[in-house]
Each structure stands twice: as C-alpha cells, then as structure tokens.
Structure 1
Amino acid sequence: MTKQFPKFLNARYRVKNVIGRGGMASVYRATDERLGRDVAIKIFELRATDKPDIQRQQAEINVLASLNHHSLVTLFDVGVDRTDPDHPQIYLVMELVDGIDLRRRLDGHPMSTRHIAQIGYDLAEGLDYIHGRGVIHRDIKPANILLAEYSSDSRARARLTDFGIALFPNSARMTNQGMTTGTAAYLSPEQARGEDVGPASDIYALGLVLLECFTGETAFPGEPIPSALARLQRDPVIPEELVPEWRHLLSTMLAREPEQRPPTAEVVLAMHQAVIAETGRHRGAEEHHLVSDERIRLQEVARLDILDTPADGAFDRITSLAARLFSVPIAIISIVDTDRIWFKSHHGLELTEIPRDPGLCASAIMSDGPWVVEDARADPRALANPLVAEKFGLQFYAGVPLTTRNGYNLGTMCVMDFKARVITAAELQTLADLAALVMSELELRLESRRVAR
C-alpha cells in the first residue's frame, strides 16, 4: 500500500491489499471492524481532486446509493478521508464480491453456452432495473462484470459494477459535449460519434460482451481511435456455428442504429428463454454424450502419459509453492481416472490415491472454472462428503481444472485446509496460473518424448 492511503479509514475500516486498479481509483480489500466483515473500498487517487473529477466521484456515489438489485454491487457506506487536509479523498465502501471478473474469466478456457446465457440474463436484469430508473451505465465491459461465487448456489452470478461514468436523472453531463466516454473496445456507435446515449447504448455494449464470450476475442480490438471508428464502418462478425436464436439476438443487439436494437425488457425475456433452451440442450447432451465425453477425457489422460510416470520434482515444487502462497497445509496436483483420483504431486499429504466417488476433485473437473468450497460445514455440495463429515475433517477446498487444449479436464490444481477460509479473486487467478503451468509442462514433456523417438 502506498503512503498516500491510510491503513485505517474513519476509525472503522482497516485497509488491506489492493484487488483492482483503474484510471481514477484503486479498490482495496478491507475489514469493517465494527461489523466484523470484509468489504471492498474504492479510494480515489490524489490527482482526482479538481472540480470535474469531484463531480464524477459524487456522481458514482449518488448512483450507487440509490440502487439495490441482485445484479449490481451494493454500496454500504461513503466517506471522505482528510488525513491530508490539502488532498481530501472520497472513498466508497462496497460489498466484497468473492469471485473473478469476466475479463479474467475470458482469459481462461472457453465458456459453455449455458453459462453465457446465464451471465447475459443476470446482466440484462440489472440493466432493465437501472434503465427503469433513468440510469445509463455507459461502460459495460468484461472488467466491470464480477462473477460472484455463492457456496449455496450451483453457478456464479454476474454482478455489474463501476458506475463512474454513468448518467442518471437530473445529473449534469460528466463530459463536454462531443467528448467520447467509455472503453473504446465496447463503445456503442453513438458513443463513438460523441452523441447523447440512451439504454440502447448499454444493450450494444452487452451484445459485444456476449459475443466475446462466444468467440474469446474482442470484436473491435486495437488502439482507441481505430477501435472506436471500426464499428461505424462495419458490424461485428457473429459466428455461423451459433444456433439461429443466438445469431438473431446478437445481430439485433449489435445493430448500428439505436432504434433498431431491442428494448431492455425484451432482452431480459430473450435471455431468460436462452437460459431455458441452453439448460435443455445441456441436459440432453449430458444424457446422450456423457459416456462419450468421459471416454475422450480418459483418452486425453492416456495421451499425456502421466499416470504411470515416476515421482517428479518439478510438480512437487509447484505444489510446495501453492502451499506457501496460500498458507495451506495441503496442495495437490490430481488426475481423475476411471475410478480413482491419483495425486501426481501432493504436499502435506501422504496419500497417493483415493477412490473417485468421495473426491472433491471429481466434482471440480465438472466445472467450467474454479470450484471453491470456503466452508464445507455450511456448503450443501460438501456436507455429506466423507472427507468433510468424517475423521479427515476437511473444511476448505479450492480447485482449478487442468484443462487440455481441446477443452477436457484431466484433474485439478487444488489447495485444501482444515479450517474455513475466504479466497480472493487474485488468489483464484494465481491458482489458475499454476494450473496452466502444470498443463504447459505436461504438453512440453509429451512433445519432448515425441522428438526423442
């Protein structure tokens, strides 16, 4: 933490580590000493003290304080730190959302269509709520979408954050007429032209975000000016392989003219129908292809030739590093076989294998992303697990799938503890990086063996 930011705000909030940075402010993890809970505190940079910047800061406070919806990050408190009388700093105390932002999620392995539909539905509901109150977000992008992990839920919920450049009823414009606001890659055409914007602008940006979820690529990449101008000259490319319903929805959301885009309420309905349709497809796929998918997954395990190889110091160093980074007693690189979970590398545990059924790693490989149980005693997914309920006494588990290039999960890079704990988005990203390192090493070794032959 820099000297500019006090470690204790308003004799109540103990500021800890930074969890995000932006152009105008940084977000820190902190503890509300009065209520005994962790929160997120957004502290605006010292340079943000001239009149336009103060207006922007106050605008975000006003917006957040007036909104309350499950798809939006909740504001708890606001304040001004006057440690330096010449440089007062506004700070916002917000709900701490456990999980990662969509930007980081998109940097990982591909997302399922069902998950994309669920994210789209959450965000559409949030936009419908704010648009109904005259608020336009103006900066819908993956980095401003948090994927909240709830131990009692089966999926991550999308939450919209960062209303720093939003427009709301009776507010003065935060920028001069004709000045473009927002992030270049996700601007609507009317934003790129510097025109007034309405709800349709947020719909366009949401369309770009959903398209990126499908393709893994930004539709309008590059430097800000060329990126902004590109959408005035062409429409984004929608993959031909998408089902007709998705192609139609995305093409209408991404129409260049605002009046051609669907109203927010219609997008909510369309996304709800998409969730129902994708859930049906997913269940049908599970019924028809589960055996086939498992067969191919096991073929991938065999291809990488890892199960019968001797103990390996490189993997042991990775698990040892994970244990130190997370301050946990156990770290494991696991491979899930037909009926066993093999611990290719294990720190803090003498076992080299366990049956597949009770293993949490077997559940983690069914996930699209990190699989986390922060308090196994209160999590219905783990309550009956013998590793939790019996003598072993496991209370915390965080695992990231070891995913092959063609999307099959071999096993996990996981950490465990005998006490409940919270894992941050930054820590999940570190665990994902370690998992990627394991997979890179496996592929490199396979290629080396091929060359040696």
Structure 2
Amino acid sequence: MRAYGSHDGAPCDGAGEEDAVTAEVPPLRRPRGAARALGFRRRSADPAVQAADVRASEPLAPATTAPIVLAGRYELRRVLGSGGEANVYAAHDGLLGREVAVKVFHSRVAPPDAGSLERVEARVSASLNHYALTTLLDAGIDEGPEGRQLYLVMEYVPGEALNERLRRGPMTPADACWLGFDIAEGLDHMHQVGFLHRDVKPSNILISGLRSARPVVAKLTDFGIAARVGEPDLSEFTTGTAAYLSPEQVEGLDAEPASDVYSLGLVMIEAITGRVVFPGSVTRSAFARLDRDPEIPEGIPPRLADLLRRMTARRPADRVGLYDLAVELQQILVDMLLELRPGGAAPAAEPPVVDGPPQQASAAFDAALRLLLGASGATAAIALLGDPAAGQTVAARAGAATASPEGLPVLRAARSGAVLVEDAWQDRDLRAHPLVLGGGVRAVAAVPLQNADRTVAGSLVLLDRAPRAWDDAARAALEDTAALLVADLGLRRAVRRALSLDD
C-alpha cells in the first residue's frame, strides 16, 4: 500500500522506478537447490515499459470532467501515482473535511468479490499504529457507475517519496540516519505486531514535507506484500524488488525480520551515495549480493560505517537487531551534533551543565508513566532521580499516591535489578514506611534507571493498593518504560553537553 503526497504539486510515482511485476526475463532456477524460480511479482524495472503498460490497460485519470466520488464521500481529485495493480489519488473526504490518499485497485487485478491480496494488505495496515508507518483510515467496495471497485483510504502525507528526493542528489549521513531511525522504529513495530514488510525500498519511503525541527521525517508505506513473521512463503516466485532483496530471499529462502534490516541498510547506503548499491538487470542485481558485500561510502563516521556493515551482513544472524539499530542511530546523531559545534568533537569528560540539574524529567516522563499504568494496571507509577543512598527526588508521577516513595528500602536493592514485593505488609522493612502505613500501599515493584555505562540514574517504582503477584507482562512493561526513560535522559544530557560548547 502507498500513501502519497507532494508539497509542490509534482506527482509521486505510485510504482517507483524499481517497483516490480513478474520479471520480464526467463525464470531462473535459484542457486544452491532453491525450489522457487527467480521472478518478481510487482512490475518491470523499466519505467517506460511500465508506464506504457498502465496507459494501455487503464486510464490514469477519469475520462470525464465530472468528479468521481467513492462511497458518497471520497472525491478523487488528481492522480498521485499509478501501477499495474492500482491507481492512487489525492482525494477529499467530504464527511470529515480532510485530504486523504485513495488507492483504487484495477478490477482485473483485484476482483471485488474475491479474497485478494489487497484485502490482506488492508488487514495488515489496520493492525499497525505507529508514527513511522502510513495509517489506513478506511476500506471498502464502491458500487458506482464505474462498477464495483475495491479501495483503501490512507493518510495523505505531504512531501515526496525517497526515490524522488534522491533525484536531486544524495543525503548527508546525518539525514540518512534520521531516515534510518524512523524506518527502523516502524519496522520494529511491524515485527512486534507480527508482520514482515519484505519490500523496503526508496519508493516505499515517504519524506514528509511538513516543517519540523528535524531535517528528515520518514514514513514507511506499501504493505501489499507484507507477510506474517515465521509463516512460510508457498508462492512460486520471490516477492520483493530485486535491487533491495536480502541474500536469503535471493536464494529462495523465506524472509525473516533480519531481511527487512538488510533492505533498510541498502536504502541508507543509497541515500548517502545517491546510487543503487546493486544496479543492473533483475538477475544481475539480485545475484550480486551473493558474491560481494555492499560497498560502504567513504568519508562517513566510522561508527556509522560499522553499523551499515552489520545491517548488510550476508548471514541474517550477524545483522544488528532493529531495537539496537535505533539506539545506535540516536547515538550517532548525537555524536554528529557535537562535532558540528564550535570546538570540534565532544570532550572526553562531561562539561559543566549550562543550567539546572544534569538530569531532570521531561514531558516524555509523564507520557511514559501514563502508558506504564495502563499496561500494568497498578495504582501509581513514580520515577525518581538520584542516588538512593544520597537522596532522590521525584521526577514524575502518574496515578494516585498519598506519599512519596523516597527512602523505600527496596530502592537500594533495585540498583542491581528488579525487586518485586507482592505484599508490603508481610515485609518487615517495608511495613513501617509512610506509603504502607498511611498510604495503603500493599504491592511494590522497582527497577533501576541504569545508564549504558552501568551507572544508576534513579529508580522507577510501581505501587498497588492491593496485594498482587507481578506477572511477566507487568514486569516487562516496567523494564521497557525504564529503558525509555534512560534513553530520554541520555539524549537530553547529550544536547546539554553540545550546548555547553557554545559558552
């Protein structure tokens, strides 16, 4: 599925230059005994051939001047992109008064009364909810003068596809890292929900044209060939685009989460160099990665070069995971920010803080604690900063708590790992604390806010008014929230370090 937009009125090619249909080369047997023939489901690599095929099969825009309105609601206004399977239109939602993108499938490809691949696409899209993934708003079958038409309604993203952006020249390494961070976050969400994308490429990445404090804001789109994680691919042909397939896909093996990581690595290298990593014909491009690793761009930070190598390792087991990838990209971006400041690279020692304490809470703390409460079902969540032995301060809290947890004996024990107390009344050290005596707290769970260098920045505490056994889900929510808070603290400390170099 694509969601499209253009801030300057230029159309976004709905099928991109490297999109695929069944490859227009004789099917080739895969090496190493692979069972499936090398074919690609989506479209020809030649944009002229593809455009001619589409023009010959269906018009790109309505033949009459009267607007086409789907479901009595979506007025199609202009073509944003087209391909062998569907046309994508900029449209106006008359009911809610907003701009949307509507993907209308050709009836010969997706008969509205058949259980087609596009319906699977709609189900995949409806399962996803992430800022870096385009959002499905509606789906249906229109009974209009053009006959029965299957359509999907997506968010409209003002901007352009990455392949269009790269026609103006390559990105800086920092911009490529911003892009990689967004897409890594989106893919990680997809994988956690249970789906593989399998077609990560420049034409399926949208660069938002809306003004932002960040130089690049990216969204992943087109879930038409997404598949469930771990589900075997029983089709005869490989799905995906030759230039961005992982080695295991080329060999005829099933895609896995690491396959999406490999494809993203190729996209990031292309963004930095402005050149496709494995160019050439479908066959030449696909098999090239079995013989050689991608060439890493020269002149980029060594840490980024190493990360790109780990993203594009030939063995899936050697590739970096998406969570670690996102964290490392954040750290690389901070390093780049410091190097751009007067005075050069960041000093080895922590410089004096400009103003305020070195660690303080942010709005992110409050949001994270509210999410933690919802996930754990506890009464209150409290984040503290500082050393339990030398004193701590409450940085943020959510839920009802009549007293502060400073001085709780469990906080010192929690410096080395999670501490879970099912009933504080049965704990000799806890039952005299004001939270338990006067606040009615019965259950306590605490984990450290531990920095990457193993130092402890504080504690994260869950409180409940009823005795409870802390199950795996509650513990996981607590530990995940602690990791988010530590990441937020680290980023803001790094920004303060960068700002201090201006003094």
| 1:353-398 deviations in Å (ceiling 9; x for gaps) | xxxxxxxxxxxxxxxxxxxxxxxxxxxxxxxxxxxxxxxxxxxxxx
Give the drift of 1:286: 9.7
Q: Which residue of 2 aligns with 1:239?
A: 297
Q: Which residue of 2 aligns with 1:166?
A: 226
Q: TM-score, normalised by structure 2?
A: 0.53
Q: Which residue of 2 aligns with 1:30?
A: 91
* Alpha-carbon distance between aligned partners in 1 of 2:269 and 2:239, rounded to the nearest angstrom: 21
Report matched runs for 1:49-88 at 5 Å: 49=110, 54-83=115-144, 88=148
Tell me if 1:98 matches 2:154: no
Q: Which residue of 2 aligns with 1:140?
A: 200
**Which of residues 148, 171, 177 is equivalent to 1:117?**
177
Q: SS where residue 100 of structure 1 aligns?
A: strand
**Which of residues 212, 222, 244 is equivalent to 2:280?**
222
* Alpha-carbon distance between aligned partners in 1 of 2:104 and 2:342, rounded to the nearest angstrom: 48
* Alpha-carbon distance between aligned partners in 1 of 2:68 and 2:83, rounded to the nearest angstrom: 20
Q: TM-score, normalised by structure 1?
A: 0.59
**Conserved 8 A contact 2:102-2:151:** yes
Matched letter for residue 188 of structure 2: D
**Conserved 8 A contact 1:150-1:156:** no
Report matched runs for 1:251-290 at 5 Å: 251-284=309-342
Unaligned runs of 5+ in 2: 1-60, 346-503
Matched letter for residue 30 of structure 1: A
* Alpha-carbon distance between aligned partners in 1 of 2:111 and 2:137, rounded to the nearest angstrom: 25
| 1:134-179 deviations in Å (ceiling 9; x for gaps) | 1100000000000113335443310000000001269785x615x2
* Alpha-carbon distance between aligned partners in 1 of 2:156 and 2:115, rounded to the nearest angstrom: 24
RMSD: 2.7
Distance 1:278 1:200, change over 3 A: same
**Conserved 8 A contact 2:338-2:344:** no
* Alpha-carbon distance between aligned partners in 2 of 1:49 and 1:6, rounded to the nearest angstrom: 23
Report matched runs for 1:36-435 at 5 Å: 36-49=97-110, 54-83=115-144, 88-151=148-211, 153-168=213-228, 173=233, 176-177=235-236, 179-284=237-342
Q: Which residue of 1 aligns with 2:416?
A: none
* Alpha-carbon distance between aligned partners in 2 of 1:97 and 1:51, rounded to the nearest angstrom: 27
Q: SS where residue 276 of structure 2 aligns?
A: coil
Q: SS where residue 228 of structure 1 aligns?
A: helix
Tell me if 1:15 matches 2:76: yes
Q: SS where residue 155 of structure 1 aligns?
A: coil
| 1:225-262 deviations in Å (ceiling 9; x for gaps) | 11111111111111232221111111111111111111
Q: SS where residue 77 of structure 1 aligns?
A: strand
Rg larger in 1 or in 2? 2
* Alpha-carbon distance between aligned partners in 2 of 1:263 and 1:151, rounded to the nearest angstrom: 31
| 1:8-32 deviations in Å (ceiling 9; x for gaps) | 0000000010111233111100000
**Conserved 8 A contact 1:27-1:43:** yes
Distance 1:158 1:212, change over 3 A: same
* Alpha-carbon distance between aligned partners in 2 of 1:229 and 1:66, rounded to the nearest angstrom: 34
* Alpha-carbon distance between aligned partners in 1 of 2:270 and 2:205, rounded to the nearest angstrom: 13
**Conserved 8 A contact 1:140-1:206:** yes
> Which stretch of the first structure deviates more once superposed, 93-102 or 73-82?
73-82
Distance 1:17 1:159, change over 3 A: same
Distance 1:50 1:30, change over 3 A: closer
**Conserved 8 A contact 1:113-1:278:** no
Distance 1:75 1:51, change over 3 A: closer
* Alpha-carbon distance between aligned partners in 2 of 1:113 and 1:57, rounded to the nearest angstrom: 36
Q: Which residue of 2 aligns with 1:366?
A: none
* Alpha-carbon distance between aligned partners in 1 of 2:139 and 2:209, rounded to the nearest angstrom: 25
| 1:17-60 deviations in Å (ceiling 9; x for gaps) | 01112331111000000111110001112221369985310111
* Alpha-carbon distance between aligned partners in 2 of 1:60 and 1:142, rounded to the nearest angstrom: 19
Structure with more of its chain in helix, by fraction: 1
Q: SS where residue 219 of structure 1 aligns?
A: coil
Give the drift of 1:109: 2.7
Q: SS where residue 221 of structure 1 aligns?
A: coil
Matched letter for residue 143 of structure 1: S
Q: SS where residue 119 of structure 2 aligns?
A: helix
Distance 1:170 1:197, change over 3 A: closer
**Conserved 8 A contact 2:112-2:149:** no
Distance 1:273 1:45, change over 3 A: same
> Which stretch of the first structure deviates more once superposed, 110-119 or 32-41?
110-119
Q: Which residue of 2 aligns with 1:414?
A: none
Q: SS where residue 223 of structure 2 aligns?
A: coil
Q: Percent identity?
A: 43
Give the drift of 1:2: 3.5
